[in-house]
């Protein structure tokens, strides 16, 4: 039986990318394949700039879930009551993108280490549209409704199509032109956070102005002080 290790589950607004401002339940899975999450391992990690705590299961709404149904119900409990839509199933051919549709963002860590067909089915059965935020090193299973891929310089990217590509910028070895031939609807540059956030933001703005295929993505949830 599959056990899902989840760091936290919470309801907020999507803060980044094409769906900024959309209400969503975030389901943050524990574990990543590019960094252990422990500070003493950061310098040797494939991805060294991650600013997310995905270690353990002790965050708000986190825990170990021993089957897909229990985790999906836990996610559903975070959605405001009375907002369950009627109409076509989210996994159907004419997936609704209208305001009010239940929306879950599966993130991490790397969610595709754990997100599997039984959980996708269980979330769809509870009327959720399912998005993922992935580093692109693991193939996306059928049934994911919105794919956001954030490539990393020192990792092999095998996810080459989806809905949005969100590149943390700048990354030596992960220049935007390396990815712009991939089949994504949206291309975003997101300034790397840290001690040089202001400089990185200016560089991202400059690049987007010079290369209009790319758009700027800011971490608006941090600006607003929400999860």
- Calculate Rg over the CA atoms of the chain: 17
Active site (annotated) includes residue 110: no
Catalytic choice (51, 77, 185, 206): 51
Active site (annotated) includes residue 106: no
Side-chain-side CA neighbours of residue 188 (13 Å): 22
Catalytic choice (2, 3, 52, 197): 52
Q: Which two tokens stand for residue 103?
A: 């929306």
Active site (annotated) includes residue 47: yes
Active site (annotated) includes residue 134: no
Catalytic choice (47, 106, 148, 208): 47
Active site (annotated) includes residue 51: yes
Beta pairing partners, 186: 164
Catalytic choice (32, 106, 148, 208): 32
Give the neighbor-by-neighbor strand order of the sheet with 215-216. 63-65, 4-13, 23-29, 102-107, 128-134, 146-149, 161-169, 183-191, 215-216
Backbone angles phi, psi at 42, to 5 degrees: -60, -45
Catalytic choice (12, 116, 175, 221): 221
Side-chain-side CA neighbours of residue 163 (13 Å): 14
Residue with tokens 């400089």: 199
Active site (annotated) includes residue 26: yes
Catalytic choice (50, 106, 148, 208): 50
Catalytic choice (133, 145, 163, 164): 133
Pairing of strands 4-13, 183-191: unpaired
Cβ proximity of 74 and 61 under 8 Å: yes
Active-site amino acid positions: 26, 32, 47, 50-52, 133, 221
């Amino acid at each position: 039986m599959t056990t899902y290790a989840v760091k936290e589950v919470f309801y907020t607004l999507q803060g980044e990318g094409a769906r900024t401002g959309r209400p969503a339940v975030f389901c943050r899975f524990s574990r990543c394949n590019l960094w252990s999450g422990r500070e003493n391992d950061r310098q040797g990690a494939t991805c060294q700039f991650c600013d997310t705590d995905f270690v353990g299961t002790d965050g708000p709404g986190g825990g170990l879930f021993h089957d897909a149904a229990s985790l999906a119900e836990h996610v559903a409990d975070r959605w405001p009551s009375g907002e369950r839509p009627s109409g076509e199933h989210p996994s159907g051919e004419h997936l609704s993108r209208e305001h009010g549709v239940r929306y879950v963002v599966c993130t991490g860590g790397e969610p595709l280490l754990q997100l599997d067909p039984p959980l996708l089915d269980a979330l769809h059965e509870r009327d959720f549209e399912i998005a993922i935020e992935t580093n692109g090193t693991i193939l996306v299973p059928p049934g994911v409704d919105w794919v956001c891929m954030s490539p990393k310089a020192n990792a092999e990217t095998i996810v080459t199509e989806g809905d949005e590509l969100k590149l943390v910028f700048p990354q030596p070895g992960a220049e935007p032109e390396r990815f712009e031939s991939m089949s994504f609807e949206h291309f975003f540059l997101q300034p790397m956070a840290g001690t040089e956030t202001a400089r990185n933001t200016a560089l991202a703005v400059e690049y987007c102005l010079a290369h209009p295929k790319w758009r700027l993505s800011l971490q608006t949830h941090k600006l607003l002080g929400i999860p």
